[in-house]
Amino acid sequence: MKLSRYIYIVILNLCINLLSSVCHADDGYRLWLRYDKIDDPAILSQYKNQVRSFFFYDASPTITVAKKELSDGLKGLFGQVVPESNAANNGSLLIRKNQPIPFSHIDFQTYGKEAFTIYTMKVDGKNVTTISANTDIGILYGVFHFLRLMQTRQSIQNLAIISAPKIQNRLLNHWDNLTRHVERGYAGISIFNWHTLPGYIDQRYIDYARANASIGINGTVVTNVNANALILTKEYLEKFKALADVFRPYGIKLYLTARFSAPIELGKLKTADPLDTTVRNWWKEKINEIYQYIPDFGGFLVKANSEGQPGPQNYGRTHADGANMLAEAVAPHGGIVMWRAFVYSNETPEDRVKQAYSEFKPLDGKFEKNVLVQVKNGPLDFQPREPFSPLFGAMPQTPLMMEFQITQEYLGQGTNLVYEAPLFKEVLDADTYQHGPGSTVKKVIDGTLDNYSITGMAGVSNIGNDRNWTGHLFGQSNWYAFGRLAWDHDLSASAIADEWIKESFPNNPKLIATIKQIMLSSRETVVNYMTPLGLHHIMGTGHHYGPAPWVNNAGRADWNPVYYHKADSFGIGFERSSRGSNALEQYAPEVQKQYEDSNTCPEKYLLWFHHVSWNHKMKSGRTLWDELCHSYYAGVDSVRAMQQQWNSLKPFIDEERFRHVQMLLNVQLSEAIWWRNACLLYFQTFSGKPIPAQYEKPDHTLAYYQALRFPYAPGTGN
Ligand code: GCW
């Protein structure tokens, strides 16, 4: 073959390879576990030298899974199979359990049963890497971590890693109904096909478990908190057993939601009173039955006396009475009860954001040892921004667990790119001052502040049967960030974004920097165009899609946006200082001090805590009205900036994912403009002030926005 022809063929091949690696269609199914071949030859050869063979000394279903993950991962990243060998040579990766120090290098007693170590060390003068743990699941976590190091192009030389989760129970909460409709789900229907279970095991269940294990999630509540008693029937228990069997090797426990009235609905009892002996026996028997199907059943998540769900208060009993009844029945099996604190009542004339505290604070210390009270991050309901819930720091004798919402009910649902780690971190890092400065929310929930014996963090899932799992590709980053923070709440939002981007996209510095910028600014952007300066709960009624600050006729007062913004001719905002509802009194004095004066209150919470005049002077020198306009317009401008940033990445991203995000950003822009125009036009009817001349004029009238209807918006009710 002539040299020129040879060179031509080589170049052609190179081009084809390049094109197919950069531009092939990609539907996002593989999440962050892509293991594409490392394209940097220097890094690749370094990694290959470090991992020439691997060997697992132990065997079990979990080890089988770990072995497959490692060998698939290495094959993908290296572009070739790495052999198994138990010889300790240079480049051996040795993986084993229950090894004496120094092999394991840590006292696993101290670090718990899920900890692992990864060490570079000399064995017989040879340079080997070890992954060790005390349990099979620790090994699996170590393997995922090791693969992550390579996926994110970190050095795997001189490793000395000890990793243990800071929170014990790291759970997804699915609001999935038995109909497969997902409440507040925007990624299709439930991945759990109850109809074909238990006979048919969808590959999705396995991939779901794998993805969760890769980020340390160790439990899943597969049914909606708005619970259906049928969940507890034999027919369904068989289905849950099949799922639990799939999840077990991945270290994931299955949990269910318990409908409090199940003894009446299923057991035909006259009451569900938690102090009634027949009721208590009914639950005991039911729970014994569940454990026959699922010996490692995790326990229950319960929503009671909240938004129409039955509960102990129907019988004049307390939340503690209800929780303790279930707790006693699961205790002999090692189960737990997660009892939600999301309660508020229309009949109670108290500011809604105060009610969970009023209800639960007096119950501190009254719960059984295996009960966790599950508290939403803020006192209201997963708004784009809320201060932390005052329950954190107020119940030293009751393990409190965090409930975040991963699904974007109030954050643009399925169409908006919003990276939630900054929101999660803002809450975790907030200082409750419970025992003086440094009493952060994360120290409350990891148990270090009050010596909780049991700890947990839950995230309301954003997963559905869309091919890419989360509807919006960037929803994957929120699932990822939740898991990583539940494992280690000290990780920064930026570090987690960095990992996720490197694992999810080709490893290009411009791409990484640009996507990171997009992600890290995205939460503030959505706050600006939806609910700036502490506004909250002004979205459409029922479906919560889009703005509707004018609504004042919802079924109950505290579902109305006007209840929350209180706009009038004087100003806007909810007065929660001692001059108003005094919700502030539920916080420690140091926190109260930060927020009590409208002139010094951080502006991001201004309208949460204060009703202030339209002419109120803001730090920028603008009036409140002008600042509101500024924030809404800045929010929209930021979406435009995101679009430009994303468009600049076209050469680096496969067409399918590029177009997917590009189209959704177009939708996001139109929704941001909608939010801005609708809110400003409406609030203007109170302020009587003009939208400053430098801004583009709203292109529709207020009446136009008020007339919009969305009868089939996704994710609503049942
Ligand atoms: O915010 C509300 C949601 C409901 C949800 C409820 C809850 C599951 O709009 O859909 O119900 O919170 O957390 O219980």
Query: For residue 505, what are the CA distances in angstroms to 144, 199, 549?
Result: 18, 36, 39
Q: 446 catalytic, yes or no?
A: no
Question: Is 202 one of the catalytic residues?
Answer: no
d(CA 514, CA 570): 43
First to last CA, the chain: 69
Residue 598 backbone phi and psi in degrees, to 5? -65, -20
Ligand 1 atom closest to 409 (CA)? 9
pLDDT of residue 7: 55
Residue to probe by mutation, ligand 1, list 342, 405, 541, most atoms within 8 Å of CB: 342
Amino acid identity, position 64 = T
CA of 303, closest atom in ligand 1: 14
Instruction: Report the pLDDT averaged over residues 474-487.
Output: 99
Q: What are the pLDDT digits (tens) for 85-112?
A: 999 999 999 999 877 655 556 677 778 8
Q: How confident is the model at residue 349 (pLDDT cuts 50, 70, 90)?
A: confident
Ligand 1 atom at minimal distance to the Cα of residue 225: 8
Alpha helices in 471-585 (DSSP H): 475-487, 493-504, 509-530, 561-565
CA distance 674 to 672: 5
* Best CA proximity match to 386, nearest among 684, 187, 587: 587
Q: What is the mean pLDDT of residues 613-620?
A: 98
d(CA 534, CA 556): 22
20 pLDDT exceeds 60? no
Exactly one of 36, 39, 58, 307 is catalytic; name it.
Answer: 307
pLDDT of 136 above 80: yes
Which residue minimizes the CA distance to atom 12 of ligand 1?
A: 381
Q: Which atom of ligand 1 is nearest to the CA of 306?
A: 14
Per the listing, tokens 């209150």 go with: 601
Structure confidence at residue 574 (pLDDT): 98
Higher pLDDT, residue 548 or 19: 548
Cα dist. 8→3, 4, 14 in Å? 8, 6, 10
339 Cα to the center of ligand 1, angstroms: 14
Is it the case that residue 706 has pLDDT exceeding 80? Answer: yes
pLDDT higher than 60, residue 231: yes
Within 6 A (CB) of ligand 1 lie: 175, 183-184, 225-226, 303, 307, 342, 381, 409
Q: Rounded CA gap, 323 and 122, in Å? A: 53
The pLDDT, as a whole number, for residue 46 is: 97
Tell me what pLDDT residue 19 has: 45
pLDDT given for residue 6 in this prediction: 54
- Taking 80 as the threshold, does the pLDDT of residue 699 lie above it? yes
Sign of the CA dihedral running 546, 552, 553, 554: positive
Residue 567 and residue 613: Cα distance in Å, rounded? 10
User: Residue 582: left if φ>0, alpha if ψ -120 to 50, beta else—which one?
Assistant: left
Would you say residue 544 has pLDDT above 60? yes
pLDDT at 124 (0 to 100): 87
Catalytic residue among 26, 273, 386, 409: 409
Separation of alpha carbons 34 and 593, rounded Å: 49
Mean pLDDT of 189-201: 98
Tell whether the model's pLDDT for residue 1 goes beyond 50: no
* Residue 633's pLDDT band (cuts 50, 70, 90): very high
Maximum CA extent, the chain: 92
Phi, psi of 623 (to 5 degrees): -80, 165
Res. 22 pLDDT band, cuts 50 70 90:
very low
Closest residue by Cα to residue 62 from 133, 160, 119: 133
- DSSP E strands in 29-150: the ranges are 53-56, 92-97, 116-123, 126-133
pLDDT band at 345 (very low <50, low <70, confident <90, very high): confident
CA of 269 to the centre of ligand 1 (A): 28
- Please state, rounded to an integer, the average pLDDT across all residues of the chain: 95
* pLDDT computed for residue 380 by the predictor: 97
Ligand 1 atom with minimal separation from the 460 CA = 13
**Nearest-angstrom CA–CA distance, 678 and 537:** 14
Beta-bridge partner residues of 374: 340, 401
The single residue listed with the structure tokens 């604070």 is: 361
Q: How far apart are CA 711 and CA 251, in angstroms?
A: 41
pLDDT for residue 297: 98
Gap between the Cα atoms of 665 and 642, Å rounded: 8
Q: Which residues of 124-154 are buried (b: 16+ CB within 10 A; e: fewer)?
A: eeebbbbbbbbbbbbbbbbbbbbbbbbbbee
* Number of Cβ atoms within 10 Å of the Cβ of 230: 15
pLDDT of residue 17: 47
Ligand 1 closest atom vs CA 183: 10
Residue in 173, 174, 176, 183 to alter for ligand 1 test, most ligand atoms within 8 A of Cβ: 183
Residue nearest to atom 11 of ligand 1 (CA): 226
Half-sphere exposure of 654 (CA within 13 A, CB side): 13
**Gap from CA of 382 to ligand 1 centroid (Å):** 9
Identify whether the C-beta of residue 462 lies closer than 8 Å to the C-beta of residue 478. Answer: yes
Judging by DSSP bridges, how do beta strands 116-123 and 92-97 pair with one another?
unpaired
**pLDDT score of 483 more than 70:** yes
* pLDDT recorded at residue 21: 46
Lookup: tokens for 604: 């991001």
- Hey, which of 173, 174, 175, 338 would you mutate to test ligand 1's pocket, going by the most ligand atoms within 8 Å of its Cβ? 175
Q: What is the DSSP letter of 409?
A: T
Cα 304 to ligand 1 centre (Å): 12
Q: Give me the DSSP letters along 556-605.
A: SGGGSHHHHH---SSEES---STTTT-GGGGS-HHHHHHHS-TTTS-GGG
**Cα angle 538, 542, 545; round to 5:** 60
Report the pLDDT value the prediction gives residue 112, as an integer from 0 to 100.
85
CA Rg value for the chain: 27
Closest C-alpha to ligand 1, atom 1: 381
| Alpha helices in 24-111, H assignment, sequence order | 41-50, 61-78, 108-111
Name the residue of 182, 190, 223, 226 to mutate for ligand 1: max ligand atoms within 8 A of Cβ: 226
Give yes or no for a contact between 327 and 280, defined as CB atoms under 8 angstroms apart: no
**What pLDDT was estimated at residue 123?**
85
Inform me whether the pLDDT recorded for 646 exceeds 90: yes
CA of 307 to the centre of ligand 1 (A): 8
Residue 409 is among the residues annotated as catalytic for this protein: yes
Integer Cα distance of 367 and 363 in angstroms? 7
Share of the chain above pLDDT 70, in %: 95
Q: What is the pLDDT of residues 372-418, one digit of tens each?
A: 999 999 999 999 999 999 999 999 999 999 999 999 999 999 999 99
pLDDT band at 496 (very low <50, low <70, confident <90, very high): very high
- Res 104: pLDDT: 58
Distance 551 CA to ligand 1 centre (A): 19
